Amino acid sequence: MRLVSWNVNGLRACLKKGFAESIMALDADIIGLQETKMQPGQASVDFPDYEEHYNSAERKGYSGTALITRIKPRSIVFNFEGHTDEGRAIIADYGSFYFITVYVPNAKDGLLRIDYRMEWEDDFRALVQKLDKEKPVIICGDMNVAHEEIDLKNPKSNRGNAGFSDEERGKMTELLGAGFTDTFRHLYPDVTGAYSWWSYRFNARKNNAGWRIDYFIVSNRLADKIKEAKIHSEIMGSDHCPVSIDIDIEAC
């Protein structure tokens, strides 16, 4: 099974930049999108053999997640308790596993939103730990943190900034320590220069001055079922690129 995640930074804009062609070429079974920035009915990808589910923020043009899947889930839940207004999570039950597409809140410049970010992290970790007791969990999305220095081009100058603060990195450590595996680092622990987001400024993408902040994270018991994990930096259309995993698992 192939799973894809992509922060599209506005689905309506991305649709004009080759989104459909890129997604079809990836040939995924399940696709999680983040930062769709749209309300219901404002856009539709209308892929043959796929169904679409959109979770929009109450605030227009902000946040949002989507699930595009050729496998029908048993059930779908939008958001989780205490965090229902920004459209940041879709939880789909595929019988043998849960699939979650998630857009973690940005701590903002000067860490202005760090307190909410810490609350969100704790509540999300509690949620996935609870789900993991029932069946394995596959989390994908923009986690808005580069976990280790290897995960961004300029760690020294970014230390303490949003996305590379000690607080945010610590919460990722806690999540992984709660029984979950970073699939890319599981397969490629020492690979450098592997990034999924680049600023639009300073020719960052051309110079590969990026950050790896988009992840597939799975329950530890699924780690040995990961056959491949890729960062598709060649695919344009957003300031993020898609990431994917090939995993030996079936929905039931």
- Residue positions annotated with a catalytic role: 103, 142
In sequence order, the 6+-apart residues with CB closer than 8 A to the CB of 48 are none
Task: Please give the sequence-ordered ranges of beta strands (E in DSSP) within 143-247, or none if there are none.
Answer: 180-182, 197-198, 210-211, 214-219, 226-231, 243-247
Q: For strand 243-247 and strand 30-34, is the pairing parallel, antiparallel, or unpaired?
A: unpaired
- What residue has token string 């889930």? 73
Distance CA 98, CA 102 (A): 13
CA-CA distance, 197 to 207, in Å (whole number)? 12
| Rounded Cα–Cα distance for residues 112 and 129 (Å) | 28
The C-alpha atoms of residue 123 and residue 115 are separated, in whole angstroms, by: 13
Interatomic CA distance for residues 190 and 51, integer angstroms: 37
